[in-house]
Amino acid sequence: MTLSSVSMSEAQAALLVAAKEWQRVKKLGKKVVSERRFLQAQVTYQQSQAKLLAYGMTPSQTRRLIDEGNISRADGRFTLLAPQAGTVIRDDFVLGQMVDIGELLFELTDESTLWVEARINPQSLYQLNINAPARVEVDNQWIDGKVIQVHHELDEKTRTLAIRLQIPNPDDRLHPGQFVTTKIEIGTPGETALTVPTEALLRSPDGDWQVFVEEETDEFEPVEVALIRQLPGVAVIEGLEPGTRVVTQGAFFIQSELAKSGFDVHNH
């Protein structure tokens, strides 16, 4: 898109004048001109160039203007270029339109890589690491990414913590505003843990956590365990030997039946 303005014309002309002066002073050198003039010419040239860049010209456009050195090119016209590659999703302007300062002309988006905001339980934060592997499900397929940022403020309504994932999107399968399911790896890589399904974990009469362990066939005994943390569908525990046979389905039924029979599940 080509723009034109009086301010840009004045800035272009100022750059051409400053560039000529700087080239002349630099060629003469500090032995001929005073240090004050040398420094002033250099600063004026740099400021003139910075002004054009602030107005929207690119470094290559300003260099071309200087190299050509044609004062007739200081007409205030320049081509506005996007600072990045992407797709134009909005261009609400018409040919010949007067543009106000700060007015939105183009809106572009680069969807080759997207940020996904996921919500987690704050209790899982201490196990979450930056650059931890993460996955996003789209159309029953998973896309691999990573954690790049953790927010520091809880959502007032959900009491969850937002984390930012970076997900590649080369096939344009993800779009802004889309809801997705995420999986995030927590803990230290290579770390081992003792886990049981969440439904295997019950509260004992005194409020401690317990599981039912199979001592012999169809004979179960409640054993208190320590709950380290909970994940979706899985509980990390301590207090059992690896390989211990634990009731993973129907534990609540066993506890209810033992209570009905008058068996004290707390005192075994």
End-to-end CA distance of the chain, in Å? 81
19-78 confidence digits (pLDDT tens)? 999 999 999 988 888 999 999 999 999 999 999 999 989 999 999 999 998 888 899 999
66-78 confidence digits (pLDDT tens)? 999 888 889 999 9
Instruction: Give me the DSSP letters along 144-203.
Output: EEEEEEEEEEE-TTT--EEEEEEEE-TT----TT---EEEE--S-TT---EEEEGGG-EE
**Are 169 and 222 members of one domain?**
no
**Are 253 and 199 members of one domain?**
yes
**Are 199 and 178 members of one domain?**
no
**Are 7 and 70 members of one domain?**
yes
The percent of residues in the chain predicted with pLDDT above 90, rounded, is 34
Range of the domain at 229: 194-260
- What is the domain-level CATH number for residue 202? 2.40.420.20
Give 52-90 as a 3 state SS string.
HHHHCCCHHHHHHHHHHCCHHHCCCEEECCCCCCCEEEE
pLDDT-derived band at 17 (thresholds 50, 70, 90) equals: very high
Q: Is the pTM of this model over 0.75?
A: no
**Are 160 and 219 members of one domain?**
no
CA distance 215 to 42: 88
| CA-based nearest residue to 182, from 227, 94, 120, 130 | 120
Indicate the SS3 state at residue 41: helix
**Does some domain include residue 158?**
yes
Number of domains in the chain: 3
- Residues 8, 48 contacting (CB under 8 angstroms): no
**Does some domain include residue 89?**
no
Backbone φ, ψ for residue 132 (5° rounding) = -65, 145
Indicate the SS3 state at residue 226: strand
Indicate the SS3 state at residue 225: coil
**Are 12 and 45 members of one domain?**
yes
